[in-house]
Amino acid sequence: MNFDELAKKLGGLGLPGVILVILTVTSAGSNAAVVATLTAIGGPFGIVGGIGLLGLTTIIGDAVSSFGLEAIVKAIYSERKKTEPLRGILKEIQDLPISDDLKIKLTDHLNSETTTEAEVVEKPKTVEIVDEHEEATVVVE
C-alpha cells in the first residue's frame, strides 16, 4: 500500500474517523483505552458526549474547509487583537506549529490593521464675499 492509497482511505473516514484511528493506534489497539478516552473527552455526558464531540469536529471541519484555514485564523487573531496586546499575539504566532508562509501572512495582516492611513488634510478654500451695496470685500482663508 502506498501513501496515496492510505491518504484516500483515511480521507474517506472523515475527521472523526481519523481521530478514532489515532486514538486506537496510540492505545495499541486497546478498546478499553479508546472507551476511556471517549468517556474523558465527553465530560459529564460520558461516552455519548465523546461521540457527540466527534460529531462536532465534523461540523467544525466542514466550516474550516469551506472558508479556509487562513481566513479563519486571520479572523480569530483580528478579534483577539482588540483585547490583547499585539506584541504578545505576534510572539504566539511565531511559536505556532504552522508554515512560515502562514506566519508571515498572519503577521502582515495584523500589522496592516494597526497602521492607520494618514488623514489627508485639504488646504482651506478661499471664499470671496462681495457686497453689492458696499465696496468692501471679505476674504476667508
What ranges do the domains of the chain cover?
Answer: 1-67, 69-141
pLDDT at 29: 72
Q: Which three cell numbers stand for residue 41?
A: 473527552
DSSP, res 44:
G
Q: Please tell me the distance from the alpha carbon of residue 11 to that of residue 127, in angstroms, as a whole number.
A: 72
The three-class DSSP label of residue 8 is: helix
Identify the CA nearest to 58 among candidates 44, 46, 35, 66.
Answer: 66
Report mean pLDDT in 10-residue bins for the chain, 141 residues.
67 72 79 85 87 83 78 88 90 88 91 63 73 61 58
Predicted model pTM: 0.48
pLDDT at 36: 87
